[in-house]
């Protein structure tokens, strides 16, 4: 069990209790875009999945709201993702996170790669009921910041590109809703250019209807090792 201190945008504190942390892969609605993402990963040696979407259960201890994560080596990268959080007291909540993944390990075992890195999550959350009616209009985007400090747009797209959460939940859990204390990362947007490691990532989920955004920024410290 992992407990993460967050708040609903109105300022209401919520202690997110996590028993299950699940990462969705290849969760796009459009088969051509899913194929594009598969080819992005094939280009760095990742094997084609046997079925889409895929779901990977990882340790709840990987979920973090800290502004820094440690990784082994310089071959990991982040992916902006909408995060669904099923709570007991506050119902279904929405956050912004990153499925930070070790790309070297991913080339030979995707499931293991998902377990290798912390999964950053922004502290501020929305109620799903407040955005459900205009879900497809929400925009997920990310930036990478390199060692020179240059801020480069890395991903951007509306959630219309990804499976609707109710469909994704049915595929992942075989039910109409998630069990309380479950967190689901809902898939990512195609990258703009090549998959690239960076020292800092910025994430945003923008709501153009209500004129607000969820944001999170985290840095990546690469641990060195000798063989």
User: Does residue 46 have a pLDDT over 90?
Assistant: no
Q: Please check the confidence at residue 179 and state whether its pLDDT lies above 80.
A: yes
Task: Transcribe 4-42 into DSSP letters.
Answer: EEEEETTS-EEEEEESEEEEEES-BSSHHHHHHHHHHHH
Q: Measure the N-to-C terminal CA separation of the chain; round to a whole number of Å.
A: 34
How much is the pLDDT for 108?
A: 87
Beta bridge partners of 134: none
In terms of residues, how long is the chain?
227
- Percent of the chain residues topping a pLDDT of 70: 99
Interval 37-64 mean pLDDT: 85
pLDDT in tens, 122-166: 999 999 999 999 999 999 999 999 888 899 999 999 999 999 999
pTM of the shown model: 0.93
Beta bridge partners of 213: 206
Number of helices (H) and strands (E), helices first, in the chain? 5, 17
Q: Is 15 helix (H, G, I), strand (E, B) or coil?
A: strand
What structural domains does the chain harbor?
Answer: 2-223 (3.90.850.10)
């Amino acid at each position: 069990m992992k407990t993460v201190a967050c708040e609903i945008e109105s300022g209401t504190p919520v202690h997110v209790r996590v028993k299950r942390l699940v990462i969705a892969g290849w969760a796009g609605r459009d088969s051509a875009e899913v194929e594009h993402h598969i080819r992005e990963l094939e280009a760095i040696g990742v094997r084609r999945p046997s079925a889409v979407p895929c779901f990977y259960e990882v340790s709840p201890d990987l979920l973090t709201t800290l502004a820094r994560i440690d990784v082994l080596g310089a071959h990991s990268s982040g992916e902006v993702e909408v995060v669904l959080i099923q709570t007991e007291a506050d119902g279904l909540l929405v956050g912004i996170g990153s499925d930070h993944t070790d790309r070297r390990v991913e080339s030979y075992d995707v499931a293991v790669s998902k377990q290798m890195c912390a999964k950053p999550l922004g502290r501020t959350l929305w109620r799903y009921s407040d955005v459900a009616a205009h879900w497809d209009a929400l925009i997920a985007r990310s930036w990478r910041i390199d060692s020179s400090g240059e801020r480069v747009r890395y991903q951007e797209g509306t959630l219309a590109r990804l499976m609707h959460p109710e469909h994704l939940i049915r595929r992942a859990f075989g039910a109409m809703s998630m069990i309380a204390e479950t967190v689901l990362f809902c898939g990512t947007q195609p990258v703009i250019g090549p998959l690239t490691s960076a020292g800092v990532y910025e994430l945003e989920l923008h709501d153009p209807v209500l004129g607000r955004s969820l944001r999170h920024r985290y840095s990546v410290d690469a641990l060195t090792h000798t063989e």
